[in-house]
Structure 1
Amino acid sequence: MKRSPFLMLTWSSLKAYFRNRGAIFFSLLVPLMIMGIFGLINFGNSTPSVNIGVVDQAHNQVSGRIISSLQGIKAVKLHTGALDSERHELQQGNRDLVAVLPASIGQGSTAITAYYNQGNPQNSQVAIAIMNQFVDRASFAFAGISPSLTLDTRPVQSRNLTYVDFLVPGMIALSIMQTGLFGVVFTFVQWKQRGILRRLMATPMRVSDFFFSQLATRLTTVALQIVVLLAVGLFVFHFHFAGNLLYLLIVGIIGGGIFLAMGLAISGASKSEETAAPIANLVSLPLMFLSGIFFSRSNMPEWLQTITQYSPLTYVSDALRSISIDGASLWAIRTDLLGIFIWLAIAVVIATRLFKWEVV
Structure 2
Amino acid sequence: MSAYAALTGAGYRAQIRDKATLFFTFAFPLLFLVVFGLIFSGQDVEQSGRPYISYIAPGVMSWGVANAAVFGVAFTLMQWRRDDLLRLIRLTPTGLPTVLASRYVIALAVGAVQAVVFVAVALMFGLDVGGRWALTVPVLVLGITAFLTIGVLIGSFADTPEAVAAIANFLMVPMAFLSGSFLPLDLMPSWLQAISRALPLRYMNDAVSASLTGEGSGGDILLGCGGLLVFTVVCGALALKTFRWSNQK
Q: Which residue of 1 aligns with 2:53?
A: 164
Larger Cα Rg: Structure 1 or Structure 2? 1
CA–CA separation in structure 1 for the residues paired with 2:75 and 2:81: 10
Q: Which residue of 2 aligns with 1:60?
A: none
Query: Which 5+ residue runs of structure 2 have no aligned equivalent?
Result: none
CA–CA separation in structure 1 for the residues paired with 2:24 and 2:186: 28
CA–CA separation in structure 1 for the residues paired with 2:138 and 2:117: 16
Q: Does 1:33 align with 2:35?
A: no
C-alpha displacement of 1:351: 1.0
Tell me the TM-score normalized by structure 1: 0.64
Q: Which range moved further: 201-210 or 23-32?
A: 201-210
Q: Which residue of 2 aligns with 1:199?
A: 88
- On the 8 A contact 1:310/1:339 being kept in 2, the answer is no
Query: C-alpha offsets along residues 204-239 of structure 1, whole Å, 9 cap, x if unaligned?
Result: 4344322211111111111111111111111x2121
- On the 8 A contact 1:247/1:330 being kept in 2, the answer is no
Which structure is higher in strand share? 1
Change (3 A) 1:255 1:43: same
| Residue identity (%) | 29
Query: Which 5+ residue runs of structure 1 have no aligned equivalent?
Result: 49-157
Q: Which residue of 1 aligns with 2:159?
A: 271
Superposition RMSD on alpha carbons, in Å?
2.4
Q: Which residue of 2 aligns with 1:190?
A: 79
Q: Which residue of 2 aligns with 1:16?
A: 14
C-alpha displacement of 1:310: 3.0
Change (3 A) 1:245 1:221: farther
Q: Which range moved further: 338-347 or 38-47?
A: 38-47
Q: Which residue of 2 aligns with 1:254?
A: 142
C-alpha displacement of 1:332: 5.4
Q: Which has the higher contact order (CA 8 A, sep 6+)?
A: 2
Q: Which residue of 2 aligns with 1:76?
A: none
| Equivalence map 1:1-360=2 (5 Å) | 3-42=1-40, 45=43, 159-234=48-123, 236-326=124-214, 333-360=221-248
- On the 8 A contact 1:6/1:213 being kept in 2, the answer is yes
CA–CA separation in structure 2 for the residues paired with 1:46 and 1:331: 26
CA–CA separation in structure 2 for the residues paired with 1:359 and 1:43: 50
- On the 8 A contact 2:130/2:211 being kept in 1, the answer is yes
Tell me the TM-score normalized by structure 2: 0.90
C-alpha displacement of 1:44: 9.8
C-alpha displacement of 1:33: 1.1
- On the 8 A contact 1:185/1:264 being kept in 2, the answer is yes
Query: C-alpha offsets along residues 31-65 of structure 1, whole Å, 9 cap, x if unaligned?
Result: 111111111111893799xxxxxxxxxxxxxxxxx
